[in-house]
Structure 1
Amino acid sequence: MKITTFSRLAAMLAVLGLSIPAFAEDDATLFMSRANARIAKAMRFQNRWDGPTTGVKISQKRNVILIGSDLHDPSQSSIASGVKEAAQTAGWNLMTIDCWGSTSRHAEAFSRALALNPDGIVVAGIDTAAIGKELAAAAKKKIPVVGWHASPKPGPAAGLFANVNTDPKEAAQIAALLGVVESKGKSGIVIFTDSSNVYAMAKSNEIVSIIKQCQTCSLLAVEDLPLADAPKKMPDVLAALVKRFGKKWTQTIASSDQYLDLMATPAASATLAGNSPQAISAGDGSELSYRRIRDKNLQIGTVPEPFQMQGWQLLDELNRAIAGEKPSGYENQSYLVTASNISYHGGAKNNFDPDNGYRAEYKKIWMK
């Protein structure tokens, strides 16, 4: 268990080569006005296609491999489902390799994929820094690689033709601003993050920046709790936070819904009894998060990712790479789900699946 103060977070980020952005002092009323406007924009219906309309026709069958850091993780399972659906539409063969949550398997899995000489590789949840040598080997063999959550930033990255994800900073800003708006600027906030994950740290870094702009908010602590250890450590972490902050702790903002899954267990609820801080997640939009928001149980919002649509984009980017074309440059905008709009864009099925016709749009690009 490790509670990290703001100053300790800065030191931790410096080690990782990250920094806390400078924040500007702002008039409190103006800040709240801007926060409300940003939240309203993030909750707008996404029923208009804003992605690519031109690209590469699919002219032949391809063999592609998807390597997941943990395909039993709900997010990665959904990504794999999207890639599979798109591959079936394209008439491509798809093979999957699961690393079962073990980072030590990433390099070996990638080497195994390379040995099969596929036309392309998709990596999901695997940091490019961990497979640098393998990515170089893929480039040497002219096997293109695209990634999902393989780098904090969307678009081309080291060794990747393209990386697909929602901008973590934008997602974090929206989650933090929802916390500010819901508390009317009076929140006492604990942030959950994972310093072993650059993507999670990009989120928590931005959440801190936003909260520090709220003159009447209190940033109580940043809890560095690796997701791999969270199931075992969360009970003690929650007990320590309640003891330390009591009623001052009014909100939790997490880098992932998985932390809130653990805060919603019966044992955790008993620990939080009488305290019950509101919870918001800067990702991922899990089925459980939708259920909690709908049932008004702990969680009031999440910034989900359109996993199925991202799966189609991954295949489209790979098709462009194989053809020697440029990446599409497409980046889906963040979307905020609360109880007021949870019924839309796949919400009835407890996921975020935009009603923007992306399947038909990609088919227009691919098919003759």
Structure 2
Amino acid sequence: MDLTRRGFRRSATALALAAVVSGVVAGGCSRGAPRPAPEGTPSPDRAASPCPDVTDTAARAVARAEAVNTPWDGPTTGPRAVAGKSVVFVASTMTNPGVAGTANGVREAARTIGWRVRVIDGQGTPTGIRSALGQAIALRPSGIVIGGFDPESVAQQVKQADDAGITLVGWHATRSPGPSANPKLFTNVTSRVADVARISAYWIIATSNGDAGVVIFTDSSIPFAENKSQLIRKTLQSCSGVKLLEYENIPLPDTGSRMPVVTSSLVSRFRERWTHSVAINDVYFADAAPALRAAGRKGEGPPYAIGAGDGDPSAFQRIRDRQFQQATVPEPLNAQGSQIIDELNRAFAGRPPSGYVTPVHLTTTGNVGDSTSWEPRGYREAYRRIWLGQ
């Protein structure tokens, strides 16, 4: 859908967008301050950056990713909806806003074509996920969605589902988008993790002019997440002025209990050296905020934070209010829910996967406006035309 912008205007050309990002880099008085500057602000002195070429590349990439009003570039043709199907969405944990948002998108899309959907919550534990998937298989649905967990961790059940003729589609289940032979998935719906990781790191490099002290928050128990955070680390290391202060492994189900303690410790240890944070999910920053407030930090100040994935409504709110998060790389969760249903329908119709991969987008304090999510324009209409001919 279109993002409504408030008090922030750009021209449609890439050069003007690059100028805005250059202004962002120049606009802050303190180190790394990602404050939007008026259009036309002179570019910062790239020679002053420890990595001028990387910083310039980063600023241009950020400008492109911040573009709004993105039209639908996904499937426009495919099989009509196969009637009478049922789907079970097995969620890693419904406390993860990205998983919950995608599940809601699956429900909405399934209603459009009259399919039955049930969501089973894995409660964020290996035992809970195995139990949830076992319940899903016992229901003998037409398809099962692996919602945000590693199918290799339940390999025996994945084989059991395949042997039962149940089609499996993943969401953030494997490291790459597209089909998977082992474990067997018809396809995996996600953005390209390398693109998300790169733009997250580039935002830090661009807004700090290549001079930042960074903490990475990840969940190493999820291969997709660990791969993303390692790619972020690699991109950050391309600039000599960016220092990785800490690499924090905190499982997503534990962020509520662990982030306040870890955040307090990081503030105490690194003080002003901690200028930026990047996390594989926005929820880390929601749980860090109370500890930062208690330490006397200001919501619009350092450590400046970017979420490398999902982009749930609470993240948009924090960005809009400048409350301990300044950017996110949002997945179009509702549109991905529609894509999951479309991929399942292609499988049921004997067609191959669509091959579509979500393009990378960046929401910041400069372009968030009044929006609560990011979705490409026209995806609902495109899928309705495919499924219903309308």
* Bucket of the pairwise TM-score, normalised by the shorter protein: 0.7 to 0.9
Please state if 1:196 is matched with 2:221: yes
SS of the residue corresponding to residue 145 of structure 2 reads: strand
Please state if 1:169 is matched with 2:194: yes
TM-score, normalising length from structure 2? 0.82
SS of the residue corresponding to residue 93 of structure 2 reads: coil
CA contact (8 A) 2:95 2:253 kept: no
**Structure 1 residue 149: Cα displacement:** 1.3
Distance 2:335 2:139 in 1: 27
**Structure 1 residue 200: Cα displacement:** 1.6
Distance 1:253 1:116 in 2: 39
Please state if 1:281 is matched with 2:334: no
Aligned residues: 337
CA contact (8 A) 1:166 1:333 kept: yes
What root-mean-square deviation, in Å, do the aligned CA atoms of Structure 1 and Structure 2 show? 1.9
Distance 1:48 1:322 in 2: 28
Please state if 1:329 is matched with 2:329: no
Distance 1:105 1:233 in 2: 21
Please state if 1:270 is matched with 2:294: yes
**Structure 1 residue 143: Cα displacement:** 1.4
1:104 aligned residue (117, 127, 136): 127
CA contact (8 A) 2:92 2:122 kept: yes
CA contact (8 A) 1:135 1:159 kept: yes
The one-letter code sitting in structure 2 at the alignment partner of 1:37 is R
CA contact (8 A) 2:101 2:312 kept: no
SS of the residue corresponding to residue 80 of structure 1 reads: helix
Please state if 1:318 is matched with 2:344: yes
Tell me: CA distance 1:239–1:73, structure 2 relative to 1, closer, same or farther (3 Å): closer
SS of the residue corresponding to residue 95 of structure 1 reads: strand
**Structure 1 residue 349: Cα displacement:** 4.2
**Structure 1 residue 86: Cα displacement:** 0.7
SS of the residue corresponding to residue 186 of structure 2 reads: strand
Please state if 1:364 is matched with 2:385: yes
Please state if 1:298 is matched with 2:324: yes
Equivalence for 1:352: 374
Equivalence for 1:120: 143
CA contact (8 A) 2:82 2:345 kept: no
Which range moved further: 273-282 or 142-151?
273-282
TM-score, normalising length from structure 1? 0.87
Distance 2:257 2:83 in 1: 49
Which range moved further: 84-93 or 67-76?
67-76
The one-letter code sitting in structure 2 at the alignment partner of 1:261 is A
**Residues 238-253 of structure 1 correspond to what in structure 2 (within 5 A)?**
238-253=263-278
CA contact (8 A) 2:310 2:333 kept: no
Equivalence for 2:102: 79
Please state if 1:148 is matched with 2:171: yes
Distance 1:45 1:302 in 2: 14
**Structure 1 residue 319: Cα displacement:** 0.5
SS of the residue corresponding to residue 179 of structure 2 reads: strand
Q: Deviations over 1:242-264 (max 9, x none)?
A: 23222111111111111111121
* Structure 2 unpaired stretches of 5+: 1-48
CA contact (8 A) 1:66 1:124 kept: yes
Which range moved further: 277-286 or 324-333?
277-286
Distance 1:175 1:272 in 2: 26
Tell me: CA distance 1:46–1:336, structure 2 relative to 1, closer, same or farther (3 Å): same
Distance 2:159 2:75 in 1: 29
CA contact (8 A) 2:50 2:210 kept: no
Tell me: CA distance 1:246–1:71, structure 2 relative to 1, closer, same or farther (3 Å): closer
Distance 1:104 1:293 in 2: 35
Distance 1:194 1:96 in 2: 23
Q: Deviations over 1:110-142 (max 9, x none)?
A: 232222221111121121111211111222122
The one-letter code sitting in structure 1 at the alignment partner of 2:53 is L
Equivalence for 1:222: 247
SS of the residue corresponding to residue 333 of structure 1 reads: coil
Q: Deviations over 1:194-220 (max 9, x none)?
A: 211212211210111111111222222
Q: Deviations over 1:253-311 (max 9, x none)?
A: 1111111111212x432225388311111122122211111112221110011110000
CA contact (8 A) 1:238 1:271 kept: no
1:58 aligned residue (76, 81, 86): 81
Distance 1:328 1:74 in 2: 26
Equivalence for 1:40: 63
SS of the residue corresponding to residue 299 of structure 1 reads: coil
* Structure 1 unpaired stretches of 5+: 1-25
The one-letter code sitting in structure 2 at the alignment partner of 1:338 is T
Please state if 1:308 is matched with 2:312: no
Distance 2:364 2:71 in 1: 20
SS of the residue corresponding to residue 160 of structure 1 reads: coil
Tell me: CA distance 1:278–1:31, structure 2 relative to 1, closer, same or farther (3 Å): same
SS of the residue corresponding to residue 363 of structure 1 reads: helix
CA contact (8 A) 2:96 2:283 kept: no
Distance 2:104 2:253 in 1: 23
**Structure 1 residue 336: Cα displacement:** 0.2
Distance 1:243 1:112 in 2: 46
CA contact (8 A) 1:242 1:272 kept: no
**Structure 1 residue 79: Cα displacement:** 1.0
